[in-house]
Amino acid sequence: MAYRTEVLTLVEDGRAQALEKSLQAHGLDARINVIDVYSSENETVTKDTFINSVCNPVTQAANQSHPDFDWALEIGFLPGVTDNIGHTAQELIELAGAQGDTACYSAKLYLIKGNNLQLRDIEKIAASLSNSLIQRITIKTADEFKADGGMGITIPKVTLSNQGSAADQVDLNVSDEALSELGQKGIKNEDGSYRGPLGLSLHYMKAIQAYYKDLGRNPTDIELETLAQTWSEHCKHTIFASPIDEVKDGLYKHYIKRATKEIREARGDDDFCVSVFSDNAGGIIFDDNYLITDKVETHNSPSALDPFGGAITGIVGVNRDCIGFGQGAKPVINRYGYCFADPRTSPELYRDKNRNISILSPETIMNGVIAGVESGGNCSGIPTPQGFAYFDDRFVGKPLVFVGTIGLIPRTINGKPGHEKQAQPGDKIVMAGGRVGRDGIHGATFSSVALDEGSPATAVQIGDPITQKKMSDAIIKEIRDLGLYSAITDNGAGGLSSSVGEMAEQSGGFHLELEKVPLKYPGMAPWEIWISESQERMTMAVPPENTDEIIALLAKRGVEAAVVGTYTDSGNAHITYNDETIMDMAMEFLHDGNPETPLETTFTRGGEDEPSLPEPSDYAQELQDMLGRLNICSKEFIATQYDHNVQGSAVLGPLQGKGRVYAETSVTKPVLDSPKGVVLSQGLAPRYSDIDTYHMSTASLDMAVRNAVAAGVDIEQLALLDNFCWCSSDEAERLGQLKRSVEAIYDMAVTYKTPFISGKDSMFNDFKGFDKDGNPVKISAPPTLLVSSIGVMPNVDQSISLAPKAAGDLVYLLGETKDELGGSEYYDQHGKIGSNVPESDAKKNLYLYQLYSRAARKRLISSAIAVNHGGLGVALAKKAIAGGLGMDIDLSHIDLRADKALFSETTGRILITVAPHNKEAFEKLFKKYSFLYQIGHIAYTDTLNIKNVATCDIDALETAYKAPLKDY
């Protein structure tokens, strides 16, 4: 028997009001009631005690007659999809004393009233509120609703019937064609369907074939799936590891890892790196007591299919990288970065040739991604003060979703270095947190290929931040310091197969008993349990004498945990299911058996001739148009949705000055009684890749460094993270672009002495689909390198915001402005790419940053903004808007036509203001610097006045800057 409770809101409901407003914007006039629906096979769902906890008697009523409506639209989840509200409701059913099956399923019922609303209108509303990959939709007219006596009760219970054997043999004694197909499409079921992509090349398949030929048997399905996970591009980073042209040790070792090694050696006693590239995050020294950790991840492919689910899973996933650093770090800051297509456009593109499956619109993707990180970050109590949104229409099929988490961990825990851990033979494998379901099967293999028609829906998941928060608090705030576990890591891509596989490398083997893994529902095949990426799980190595205590402590905090196996030193990866061996593979083959794949590259510089644009007739208008560009305008609507001051640690936030300018750098004080600050920023310049990825990369790195330096952190206290989001990485030309990019960041980081401490790559950001006529199209994201910077300042009172403080202050431009508009916002505004991409001079920049850092230490700089996308004109305008003060500026020192002077994107420049009483000390400090220009002063006016070029009303600039995205 199934039961249902409906909660109706009787007063003004913000949710309904906001929906009505958004429908109105899309031309639909409707009145809406939002009804919360709880369905269960447990009768308690209809009892007062339960209702009392899902219904607020002041504003709501349960199971009442409905208001008048024309259409009823119900949206619930499909079986097996994470239903957080349902999960809470289940706990409330149990709190109300219910026994037996307490599962509860949430849904929303929208009662819609409006003149002349047609079925297609309701379907449109449904499409805007749901995602058919994960949700069910029921639509009824008022008459149908009455005739049926309501919506009916849906219980989306998962029923699986895995009647087969514990593991199937996979025949590898087949032709190369069949082997190749197996590697691509996956293992075939009896009914002819495929289980999902393995993402294994023929080259890899043949190595596996040879290994099993030697063993004299075929692999089991679970063995083959395990190899696919472990050898995936996502987990193994084969492209960065493989020999490439003359670089025999691969791009990662030769450039990135070597850069860090050389920098650390050069810094000697000043080396602040503690843990680099070896753990779930990188760690540097914060102070005598703490390390600060950082990790930035991407979650691009899932976000294309289910933006909310992809993004929330991304942010809570990278939180776990922090929790899984060393013995466990406490998440103290989140950051984000998004690359989207223009949300105001609706390109007609399909995943399938028959044009049945449309891509999600850029607006749907943007809104969903922003909401996913909002929910994940806010619910986890982690401030999110820093991020960006960048737009280019080539992100239409696959957005880039960067999420990062900064952690804090004691340098010493129980007498041992906090960043060290080691699973010991004999330790029990304990899995804690959420249960395992079929969600997220093939996530790792799927994210390593281009998105196409066959992309699996099971790869989509929704995060459950509260389950994770309970686990995180229990582990980080209580259990960690008891010293009960030898090692801990998170379950991310590849699930147990990855976390247990990696930890077992420390001990030398493992034996896992798969039937002991807690499941969301019965009937899963063993291979599915093993590679499922169900979220919110950590894996620990626990000495046998401590397992009972750790499981009991977690249970007291509402967190489930179970012993699922043992770490061994057998040299084998051994899995049993009810005592039957279903996997028995040498650890060595599992981790190092993938054959080398030598790569070859080509490179051709892109771009076009420098354009000769007519000079703008109205520079004030031109500047306003530039401010209204998506890559320049305010993203305040994102910043205010993200809790950026929880933990009480915010110093410099995402919106600065009276004019609330969206800043690229943040300062946080993560330890309340320490004066030290953590400075974060990021840099990227994807459009420069159209000309030369070398200069794209130096510009990105310089931006990340310069933003942070401008905010007052010493360049000697900065570390970096690299995130490569490339495309078509099976093409020699793209690999050539990649190689140049990696060379570039090696060169620049070594000059700056800013070490890389962590990095990640996503190599196939391509969309393969069909246009409106059914013709195949491939849209590749521009090669994108995100560089993230993290640094520590000794006292947050050294921080420098971007807003000018007082009239009379002097305005200086630091750095030379050259004719460098190739790939710039200004050229793009006029439909051009150009050729003169900004070329960064690392040595010259470094000298400036060192001087600047000294001036910051002496508190000589009153405000500062790094000159980035849109050039000096945009930087001046942002300062004027932020301060709400006028500026009188003279740019005659720049020997370029005014539009080039204003909009050139030459790197290495900082625009600052200095109080008059600091002028002398400041100029003395910069005496030997050749590119210091006093270009004007802050004025008690309401205009930005650029001599002989333009007089711009600040209100008009502010409107231009804030209007484009203000209604999102």
Partner 1 sequence: MTNTPKAIVLAGYGLNCEEETLYAFKYNGIDGDIVHINDLIDNPAMLDNYEILAVPGGFSYGDDTGSGNAFAQKMRLSLQADLEKFVARDTLVIGICNGCQILSNLGLVPGARDVAVTYNQSSRYQCRWIDVAMNGASKSPWLQGIDRMHIPVAHGEGRFMMSEDTLAKLTDNDQIAATYIKPDGSAAQGEFPYNPNGSTADIAAITNETGRVIAIMPHPERGMFSWQRDDYDILKDTAQREGRDLPEPSDGLAIFANAARYFGVSAKTKAA
Distance of CA 629 to the CA centre of its chain: 23
Kindly tell me which residue out of 405, 489, 534, 656 binds partner 1, with binding defined by CB under 8 A.
656
Q: Reduce the DSSP state of residue 453 to 3 states and report it.
A: coil
User: Is residue 25 part of the contact set for partner 1 (CB under 8 A)?
Assistant: no
Q: Note whether 322 and 293 are within 8 A (CB).
A: yes
Kindly tell me which residue out of 19, 735, 833, 952 binds partner 1, with binding defined by CB under 8 A.
19
Nearest residue (CB) to partner 1, 75 versus 803: 803
Distance of CA 43 to the CA centre of its chain: 41
Task: Collect all residues with Cβ–Cβ distance below 8 Å to 164 and sequence separation of at least 6.
Answer: 525
User: Is residue 805 part of the contact set for partner 1 (CB under 8 A)?
Assistant: yes
Beta bridge partners of 113: 31
Q: Angle at Cα 393 formed by Cα 790 and Cα 837, nearest 5°?
A: 60
| Residue 673: CB minimum distance to partner 1, A | 8
Nearest residue (CB) to partner 1, 484 versus 652: 652
Nearest residue (CB) to partner 1, 643 versus 841: 643
Nearest residue (CB) to partner 1, 385 versus 736: 385
| Residue 655: CB minimum distance to partner 1, A | 8
Secondary structure (H, E, C), 696-729: HHHHHHHHHHHHHHHCCCCHHHEEEEEEEECCCC
Applying CB under 8 A, what is the total number of residues that bind partner 1? 78
Instruction: Kindly indicate which of the ranges 79-87, 113-121, 294-302, 537-545 contains the residues binding partner 1, using the contact rule CB under 8 A.
Output: 79-87
Nearest residue (CB) to partner 1, 412 versus 795: 795
Q: Which of residues 546-585 bind partner 1 (CB under 8 A)?
A: 556-558
User: Is residue 26 part of the contact set for partner 1 (CB under 8 A)?
Assistant: no
Cα–Cα distance measured from residue 413 to residue 407, given in angstroms and rounded to the nearest whole number: 15
Kindly tell me which residue out of 4, 6, 23, 36 binds partner 1, with binding defined by CB under 8 A.
36
User: Is residue 52 part of the contact set for partner 1 (CB under 8 A)?
Assistant: yes
Token match 């890559």: residue?
A: 631
| Residue 753: CB minimum distance to partner 1, A | 29
Q: Angle at Cα 620 formed by Cα 617 and Cα 622, nearest 5°?
A: 65
| Residue 82: CB minimum distance to partner 1, A | 12
Kindly tell me which residue out of 511, 644, 734, 768 binds partner 1, with binding defined by CB under 8 A.
644
Kindly tell me which residue out of 296, 339, 450, 650 binds partner 1, with binding defined by CB under 8 A.
650
Nearest residue (CB) to partner 1, 345 versus 640: 640
Kindly tell me which residue out of 59, 63, 64, 414 binds partner 1, with binding defined by CB under 8 A.
59
Nearest residue (CB) to partner 1, 304 versus 479: 479
Beta bridge partners of 438: none
Q: Which of residues 105-124 bind partner 1 (CB under 8 A)?
A: 106
> From residue 280 to residue 299, what is the string marking binding to partner 1 with x (rule CB under 8 A)?
--------------------
Cα–Cα distance measured from residue 511 to residue 546, given in angstroms and rounded to the nearest whole number: 19
Cα–Cα distance measured from residue 906 to residue 871, given in angstroms and rounded to the nearest whole number: 8
The token duo for 315 is 């942010």
User: Is residue 748 part of the contact set for partner 1 (CB under 8 A)?
Assistant: no
Distance of CA 937 to the CA centre of its chain: 40
The token duo for 210 is 């040879």
| Residue 926: CB minimum distance to partner 1, A | 20
> From residue 901 to residue 920, what is the string marking binding to partner 1 with x (rule CB under 8 A)?
--------------x-x---
Q: Which of residues 659-678 bind partner 1 (CB under 8 A)?
A: 669, 672-673
Kindly tell me which residue out of 8, 62, 81, 92 binds partner 1, with binding defined by CB under 8 A.
92
Cα–Cα distance measured from residue 894 to residue 448, given in angstroms and rounded to the nearest whole number: 47
Selection from 9, 269, 4 nearest residue 156 by Cα: 4
What φ, ψ does residue 668 adopt, rounded to 5°? -130, 145
Q: Note whether 294 and 319 are within 8 A (CB).
A: no
Nearest residue (CB) to partner 1, 59 versus 422: 59
Nearest residue (CB) to partner 1, 380 versus 546: 380
Kindly tell me which residue out of 201, 238, 319, 380 binds partner 1, with binding defined by CB under 8 A.
380
Nearest residue (CB) to partner 1, 506 versus 647: 647
Q: Note whether 11 and 94 are within 8 A (CB).
A: no
DSSP line for 138-185:
EEEEHHHHHHHTSS------------S-SS-B----S-HHHHHHHHHH
The token duo for 192 is 């002819």
User: Is residue 55 part of the contact set for partner 1 (CB under 8 A)?
Assistant: yes
Q: Which of residues 440-479 bind partner 1 (CB under 8 A)?
A: 464-466, 469-470, 473
To the nearest 10 degrees (0 to 180), the angle between helices 732-752 and 842-857 is 40
Kindly tell me which residue out of 3, 41, 53, 207 binds partner 1, with binding defined by CB under 8 A.
53
Token match 């906001």: residue?
A: 18
